[in-house]
Amino acid sequence: MKTWLKRIIVIALLAVAAKYLWDKRAELAPLTNNNFKVQGTWYRFELDRKGFEPYIFTERIINKDDTEWGEFVLRSNDEIEVVVGNSSTTYLLTFPEDDHMVWSLEVEGKIVPSVQWKR
């Protein structure tokens, strides 16, 4: 009888934990989602036109023309640090659409888009 009671209590606790995590999935999902969104082929978006040269984001490396152009590290879900040459810049990372990535800087208290990318 005690064994059955323990099993029922464990199952009930697991069900409560599963329900809690399921309800929080919208908050937890973005933590890994942007890491996947960044990876892939992107084109710089300048002067309202998509560029012709592909930039390939893989793991932590950014390649352009089959050579390493720079590196990136996600500092948080909405911050990306980009190193190009000897220069390192931390940007605010947003995805207005799934195929549109924006790197922004804070200038005098305002968020200013700095680099835009399109798939």
Whether the pLDDT of residue 63 is over 60: the answer is yes
Whether the pLDDT of residue 110 is over 90: the answer is yes
Residue 64: its pLDDT value, please? Answer: 92
Across the range 65-84, mean pLDDT stands at 91
Task: Kindly report the backbone phi and psi dihedral angles of residue 26, in degrees, each rounded to the nearest multiple of 5, phi listed first.
Answer: -65, -30
Whether the pLDDT of residue 105 is over 90: the answer is yes
User: Cα(95)–Cα(11) distance, rounded to whole angstroms?
Assistant: 39
Cβ(89)–Cβ(71) below 8 Å: no
> Model-level pTM?
0.69
Fold classification of 2-118 is Lipocalin (2.40.128)
Domain ranges of the chain: 2-118
Residue 54: its pLDDT value, please? Answer: 93
Per-residue model confidence as pLDDT tens digits over 45-57: 887 667 788 999 9
User: Cα(48)–Cα(27) distance, rounded to whole angstroms?
Assistant: 33
Cβ(81)–Cβ(93) below 8 Å: no
Across the range 73-87, mean pLDDT stands at 91
Cβ(64)–Cβ(73) below 8 Å: no
